[in-house]
């Protein structure tokens, strides 16, 4: 089964195509480009690079968050629209799972920390298992200071991945047993999305397009700003 993966939860946009043979083609935009502008050309690019037609796809995989509100909406709407048009199912995968999956080589506790802005992080924790990763702490919102305190108390050998870990690295770098991953693991990966989605497709863990739900974990920034202004009026 061929899968188109759409990742748009972070500051960059990524697409990939692959299946049981692995990732056939992938592309990621640079930081700062508008998600809606980048996504269409990227989908066409990876399709041509993989040498396939969209009608050959068996499923669409989408990063369902948590992440940037606008980026999530763009990716999820695009994935749902394509699934409807092609008559194929959808697979939703968390952005925090996508951060952790490329670090599955480590024996350390994997801590995904995505920058949630407003001085907060989206966080989940994972362990390596045969064939992949297993989530051991569910996604949540917390402050960098709270996460640092938690890591200090547990004293467990940990690997922090994600742009949130890098942004607040001064809080984590001095904690005993904690290692920070390199820049290459700062953002969720469309290539990882293909791999995780393929495993779920083999288990037939599909959802119908109208069942796909984003994972926000908190209200959009625009709504928070409006509420703050209204409260101060």
Please check whether residues 76 and 39 belong to one and the same domain: yes
Query: How many structural domains comprise the chain?
Result: 2
pLDDT at residue 30, as a whole number: 67
Please check whether residues 135 and 157 belong to one and the same domain: yes
pLDDT at residue 12, as a whole number: 84
pLDDT at residue 70, as a whole number: 86
Please check whether residues 156 and 196 belong to one and the same domain: no
Mean pLDDT of the chain: 90
Distance (Å, whole) CA 181 – CA 198: 25
Low-confidence stretches of the chain (pLDDT < 70) are: 30-33, 219-233
For strands 57-65 and 2-7, give the pairing.
parallel
Is 105 exposed, middle or buried, given 0-12, 13-18 or 19+ CB atoms closer than 10 A?
exposed
pLDDT at residue 36, as a whole number: 74
pLDDT at residue 222, as a whole number: 44
Give the CATH number of the domain where residue 124 resides: 3.30.420.40
Q: What are phi and psi of 163, to 5 degrees?
A: -70, -25
pLDDT at residue 32, as a whole number: 52
pLDDT, tens digit, for every residue of 50-92? Answer: 999 999 999 999 999 999 888 899 999 999 999 999 999 999 9
For strands 14-19 and 22-28, give the pairing.
antiparallel
Please check whether residues 89 and 137 belong to one and the same domain: no
Distance (Å, whole) CA 190 – CA 8: 9
pLDDT at residue 71, as a whole number: 87
pLDDT at residue 226, as a whole number: 40
User: Residue 109 half-sphere exposure, CB side, CA atoms within 13 Å?
Assistant: 16
pLDDT at residue 53, as a whole number: 96
pLDDT at residue 225, as a whole number: 45
155: domain range?
Answer: 96-185
For strands 109-117 and 158-161, give the pairing.
parallel
Please check whether residues 86 and 132 belong to one and the same domain: no
Structural tokens at position 166: 């890098």
Please check whether residues 6 and 90 belong to one and the same domain: yes
26, 14 in Cβ contact below 8 A? yes
Please check whether residues 18 and 62 belong to one and the same domain: yes
Please check whether residues 16 and 131 belong to one and the same domain: no
């Amino acid at each position: 089964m061929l899968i188109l993966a759409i990742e748009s939860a972070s500051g960059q946009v990524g697409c990939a195509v692959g299946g049981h043979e692995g990732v056939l083609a992938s592309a990621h935009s640079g930081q700062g480009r508008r998600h809606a502008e980048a996504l269409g050309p990227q989908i066409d690019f990876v399709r041509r690079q993989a040498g396939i037609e969209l009608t050959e796809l068996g499923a669409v995989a989408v990063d369902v968050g948590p992440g940037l509100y606008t980026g999530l909406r763009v990716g999820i709407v695009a994935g749902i629209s394509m699934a409807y048009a092609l008559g194929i199912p959808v697979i939703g995968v968390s952005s925090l799972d996508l951060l952790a999956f490329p670090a599955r080589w480590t024996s350390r506790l994997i801590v995904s920390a995505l920058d949630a802005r407003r001085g907060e992080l989206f966080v989940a924790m994972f362990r390596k298992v045969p064939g992949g990763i297993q989530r051991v702490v569910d996604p949540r919102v917390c402050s960098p200071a709270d996460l640092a305190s938690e890591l200090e108390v547990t004293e467990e050998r940990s690997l922090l991945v994600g742009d949130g870990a890098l942004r607040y690295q001064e809080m984590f770098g001095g904690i005993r047993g904690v290692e920070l991953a390199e820049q290459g693991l700062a953002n969720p990966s469309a290539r990882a999305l293909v791999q995780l989605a393929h495993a779920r497709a083999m288990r037939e863990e599909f959802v119908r397009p109208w069942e796909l739900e984003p994972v926000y974990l908190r209200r959009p920034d625009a709504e928070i700003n409006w509420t703050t202004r209204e409260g101060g009026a």
